[in-house]
Amino acid sequence: MTLLQTLGRKIRHNPWLRGLPNEVAVISLIAFFVAIGFGIVAPAIPVFARSFGVSALAASSVVSVFAFMRFASAPIAGLWVNRFGERIILTLGLLIVSLSSFFAGLAQDFNHLIVLRGIGGLGSTMFTVSAFSLLLRIVAPDQRGRAAAAFQGGFLVGGLAGPAVGGIVIAISLRAPFFVYSFTLLLAAGASAFFLKAHDKENMEIKEKSKVSQSLRSFTTALKNRAYSAALSVNLATGFVSFGIRSSIIPLFVVEELKSSPSLIGFGFLATSVTQAALLSYAGKSTDIKGRRPSMIFGTSVLFISIIVLVAFETPTGYLISMAIAGIGAAFMGSAPAAVIGDVTGGKKSGPVVAAFQMTSDFGSIAGPIVAGALVDSLGFGWAFMTGAAVSLVAVFFSVIMPETKPKAEVTK
């Protein structure tokens, strides 16, 4: 047995992946490669941009243009998934990000860098939409929660490992992280091209009829579904609070309001990651056994509680407790809404439906820092955090009124 076969066997038999199709293991491995590479390059991006002598605002725009292009290109990626198939778009998207990152490392001026990062945003959303669409299509209805948790687990483990390696790489050169990121994405593209089965033939009759108008009709039908609306609201809360406010405002809160060492920021984020990783497998199983609605209500409620704890106890201990609680909510919010999307699409190709789901998170991650930053400047940190709490409450409301989408025969097992 070769080393690759041994590694593959161990991956397939870990608790997150046991009993799931082999493709779930491959997609989770791809997510790991993407996340570890991004974790390496992310800290270097604004610093590298600054080396061209631009303002801090311009340097931060390199990060924003990537997120904006992800958001803007999601509908196109969704239509491409329906027309060309998930595996082709997934592999192509990874190659686009890999090549754009490689040439970004060679960039000789700021304009080249920002254009290349924008192109990378297009490839990133192609990967995300296609991988997510394929993941939900190849698993049985009673496996969707666990499959989504495994996918999130790949991102989480890679995200934890990336910054640890990134510190070493960035010490070599500000350009080096871009080349390492490009390499990890090539590994991911190779896994997609050679280890994912071609599932496109299963839905050839859909592909033959896959006109743009039909794709849009499937999206508008889904939009009328209260469960789909709830999934969108939960993903918006994830982007707004978890990716937006948490990444942009909390570091400032720790240093400026709590008057603590910057190292406390890292400990808090670690607390979130540890609790999320510890509960991901359970959250996925709970979503598949007890249903999507209870998991979404629980996850969004816990996210709301974590914000209240942060505001009520403005101390380092309160901060750490709040971040740990947030990780619990994130575990359930990462698996249950995804399972709803799989239920709504019925396991069929529906790129626009998945793309809109992805767009809500991207929109939240773009709007969160802007809204919260403006509130911090004008009214203080408390108001910024309470805005996140309000978005979380909206997600709680939609989760409460949604119908259960998991097949009744499986919910009552």
Contacts of 76 (CB under 8 A, 6+ apart): none
- Give the count of alpha carbons within 13 A of 87, CB side only: 17
Judge whether 8-194 and 220-402 match in fold: yes
Distance, CA of 23 to CA of 17 (rounded, Å): 10
Lowest mean pLDDT among 238-247, 278-287, 346-355, 375-384: 346-355
Mean pLDDT of 244-265: 80
Longest dimension (CA), the chain: 63
Is residue 359's pLDDT more than 70? yes
State mean pLDDT over 363-388: 86
CA angle 279, 284, 285 (to 5 degrees): 100
In this structure, of 204-208, 251-255, 314-318, 372-376, the range with the lowest mean pLDDT score is 204-208
pLDDT for 215: 55
Residue 231 pLDDT greater than 90, yes or no: yes
Contact present, 310 and 322 (Cβ < 8 Å): yes
- pLDDT tens digits, 27-61: 989 999 998 888 888 778 877 888 888 776 677 67
Which conformational region is residue 201 in: left (phi greater than 0), alpha (psi within -120 to 50 degrees), or beta? alpha
Q: In this predicted structure, which of 32-41, 164-173, 296-305, 339-348 has the lowest mean pLDDT? A: 164-173
136, amino acid identity: L
What per-residue confidence (pLDDT) applies to 15?
60
Q: State residue 212's pLDDT score.
A: 46
Is 8-194 assigned to CATH 1.10.10.1590?
no
CA atoms within 13 A on the CB side of 122: 12
Q: What is the CA radius of gyration of the chain?
A: 20
pLDDT at 1: 46
- pLDDT at site 30: 92
Q: Is the confidence at residue 24, as pLDDT, over 70?
A: yes
Task: Please say if the pLDDT value at position 225 is more than 70.
Answer: yes
* CB neighbour class for 267 (10 Å; exposed up to 12, middle 13-18, buried from 19): middle
* Structure tokens given for 242: 């978890």
Residue 315 has pLDDT above 70, yes or no: yes
pLDDT at 298 (0 to 100): 96
The pLDDT confidence band at residue 345, using thresholds 50, 70 and 90, is confident
Q: What pTM does this model have?
A: 0.80
CATH superfamily of 220-402: MFS general substrate transporter like domains (1.20.1250.20)
pLDDT at 341 over 50: yes
263 or 215, higher pLDDT: 263
Q: pLDDT-based confidence at 201, cuts 50/70/90?
A: very low
What is the average pLDDT score of the chain? Answer: 83
Residue 384: name the closest of 255, 249, 290 by CA.
Answer: 249
Least confident range of 157-171, 248-262, 336-350, 366-380: 157-171
Length of the chain: 413
Inform me whether the pLDDT recorded for 413 exceeds 50.
no
- Tell me what pLDDT residue 237 has: 93
Q: 64 vs 341, which has greater pLDDT?
A: 341
CB atoms within 10 A of CB 266: 13
pLDDT tens profile 137-164: 888 888 888 888 888 888 888 877 777 6
Least confident range of 69-73, 98-102, 364-368: 364-368
pLDDT at 321: 94
Spell out the domain ranges in the chain.
8-194, 220-402
Provide the pLDDT for residue 155. Answer: 83
